[in-house]
Amino acid sequence: MPIVRFLVPYLGYLFSSFIKLTTTLTVVRGAIRARLRADDQRFIYAFWHQRQAFFTVSHRGDAMSMLISRSVDGEMIAETIRRCCGVASVRGSSSRGASDAVRGLIKALRSGLDIGITPDGPKGPKEEIKEGVIYLAQKLGVPILPITNAQSNRLILTGTWDQFQVPMPFGRSVVVYGEPIFVGLADDLKAKAAELKRSLDAITLEAEGLVA
């Protein structure tokens, strides 16, 4: 419904603000990101689709641009993250608007922004890496920074393809970074995709243990 799509970004902003005020946040290995930024190195955040909601809390105001699909729902998500985080978006995916997306991501990087991508999105399979993010890292010459989060209080939407997680108030949360993954021109994309999956799986398991 049009009215629902209109209201969601505003309600999302209010809810994200409430979560931020009522959640205790711990960041693990944040020095990895700090080191990249200190070296003036742009990068690609990579995180599982199911965990993207909390980044509107933990990364509000971050200098980044998100890759979001060219769908009606994608438009709603793009407006929500813009209001919640002040984060811009590049529209496109591997199936729709791929060339425009690459050009938009290059422009974002050159303007001093990092990029955020859900490598299993927008439709899955859940927690399986699509090689597009590896190709982009290779094409753009920037590393991939694995990142995840977990909350002690959350709602899991079991009817969605990825069991999407919605953070809830009055809990503990953790954001965990993995080591950056560099993709050289001679590297095998499948091997690098497997490396990224191992990293995301490992830091996600670590995050879950920290809020258990």
Which CATH number is 139's domain given? 3.40.1130
Q: Please state, in angstroms and rounded to a whole number, the distance separating the CA atoms of residues 140 and 131.
A: 14
The domain of 199 spans 2-211
Q: Report pTM.
A: 0.90
Q: Token pair of 195, please? A: 């490396």
The total of structural domains in the chain comes to: 1
Q: Please state, in angstroms and rounded to a whole number, the distance separating the CA atoms of residues 44 and 118.
A: 10
- Predicted confidence pLDDT, tens digits, the chain (212 residues): 567 666 777 788 899 999 999 999 999 999 999 999 999 999 999 999 999 999 989 998 888 888 876 555 656 666 766 666 666 677 665 445 467 777 888 888 888 889 999 999 888 999 999 998 999 899 889 999 999 999 999 999 999 999 999 999 999 999 999 999 999 999 999 999 999 999 999 999 999 999 99
